[in-house]
Amino acid sequence: MTTVTETSSTSTEPDRVPLERWLGVAAVAVGTFSVVTSEQLPVGLLSSVSGALGVSEGTAGLMVTVPGLVASATAPILPVAIGRLDRRIVLLGLITLMVAANVMSAAAPNFAVLLISRFLVGIAIGGFWALAAGIAVRMVPSKFVPQATAIAFGGATAANVLGVPAGTLIGQLTDWRIAFGVLGGLGLLVVTALLLLLPQMPADRPVHLRTLAAQFRNPVVRTGVLVTFLLVSGHFAAFTFIAPIIESHIGIDKNLIGPVLLTYGVAGIIGTFLTGLAGSRNIRATIIAISIVLASILVLVALIGTTSIVGIVLLIAWGLAFGGIPVGVQTWILGAAPDSAEAATALNTAMFNLAIALGALFGGIITDSVALTAVLWFGAALSILASVAVLTTRPARN
């Protein structure tokens, strides 16, 4: 079995990447797809679970909150805890944990056991996300890093488009327990793919707590983590309430919300890969452009997105813009910290998951206390702040 060590940029980098390496990156993307689907699957199953286990829908929402908070804590801790352990072994272990957790969810006799399984899912999510981008970086030469990162994070976008709707449909047609079981089966396929396609990946530079703290001395990493918080929390403050926005503000029939969101998600996947291509030229300028475009779109949805045609066009543009944020910010951070990829990624992953939870919380407060469309203005304001933060940060590497 071959071994991959830390990738460094040289003047004699190959112009092509072996197919096996791209397949390995694709396997990581499918792993990302599975863990993100595991995190968000309960969104479409809340009513079924609450009815079956005798809890309120609000309480059932803890199935999403718990893994998100656990993932935000696990992301920076796990890279420190595993030391020099082969990253291939760790990824296999994390996906196996996800499989076991989903099987446990499917068989849960009560809500307490279900929450324990969701806690385990959070560990798998945080750990896998923290290592995934670093793995992609080590699989290809530096000139191909933006594309590899786009593929790895494209799995997360695909989960929002295909994973959650498909899991929800399975739950509706059969039973919510079957949906969790099917996801566990997908996890077994991912374990097989990673086992066959990933080479050994020993850690030449183990992550220590001081390594994590040191990342904040890097201005790009520091700003990148802040930008992740601003863009992701602003997006989820609005997107958490996308269904009522589509129905009551844009005026689209509630029976068409699913197809509209599917279109939005497909646009998100396209945005992910467009950002990967643009980022290979100037990733800093790309992030600034995405932030400004996202802010403009959110404002336009609030002001003129009150008809079906205009609203759908703006939603597609929204998907294109947000789809590029994870890969864009991550690529910028990795370019500034090539020798501390795992530590920098861990911090960004922790902030990403925390931003999801806090964005939804802020959005709920604003919706209840101001108005539904106020979350669009809130998201736009945070996006503008993100563009200013990037614009005023001197990049360590471009």
What is residue 8's predicted lDDT score, i.e. its pLDDT?
42
Query: Per-residue pLDDT for 7 more than 80?
Result: no
**Cut 0.75: pTM above it:** no
Determine phi and psi for 200, rounding to 5 degrees.
-65, 140
Beta-carbon contacts of 230 under 8 Å, excluding residues fewer than 6 positions away, are 382, 383, 385, 386, 389
Per residue in 359-376, pLDDT tens? 877 887 888 888 889 999
Rounded Cα–Cα distance for residues 383 and 21 (Å): 35
Say yes or no to pLDDT of 396 above 80.
no
pLDDT attached to residue 173? 80
Question: Does the pLDDT at position 124 exceed 70?
Answer: yes
**If you average pLDDT over each of 11-20, 145-154, 156-165, 289-298, which comes out highest?**
289-298
Task: Note the pLDDT of residue 181.
Answer: 93
* Cβ within 8 Å of residue 336, ≥6 positions away: 218, 219, 220, 221, 224, 344, 395, 396, 397
Residue 257's identity, in one-letter code, is I
Q: Which is more confidently placed, 324 or 379?
A: 379
| Tens digit of each residue's pLDDT (9 = 90 or more) over 191-215 | 999 888 888 777 666 666 676 777 7
Mean pLDDT for 112-134 is 87
Report d(CA 348, CA 226) in Å as an integer: 9
pLDDT over 80 (residue 280): no
The yes-or-no verdict on residue 169 having pLDDT over 80 is no
pLDDT greater than 90 at residue 333:
no
C-alpha separations of 325 from 312, 344, 355 in Å: 21, 16, 13
pLDDT in tens, 348-362: 878 887 887 788 778
pLDDT tens-place string over residues 63-77: 877 888 888 888 888
- The stretch 124-130 carries a mean pLDDT of 84
Least confident of 157-161, 173-177, 246-250, 377-381: 157-161
Packing angle between helix 341-369 and helix 62-81, nearest 10 degrees?
Answer: 160
pLDDT at res. 242: 81
The pLDDT value recorded for residue 2 is 56
129-160 burial: b if 16+ Cβ within 10 Å, else e: bbbbbbbbbbbbbbebbbbbbbbbbbbbbbbb
How do residues 83-117 score in pLDDT, each as one tens digit?
Answer: 778 888 888 999 999 999 999 999 999 999 999 99
Instruction: Give the pLDDT band of residue 25 (cuts 50, 70, 90).
Output: confident
- pLDDT number for residue 57: 61
Angle ∠(27,32,35) on CA atoms, nearest 5? 125
Q: Which residues contact 72 (CB under 8 A, 6 or more apart)?
A: 126, 349, 350, 351, 353, 354, 357
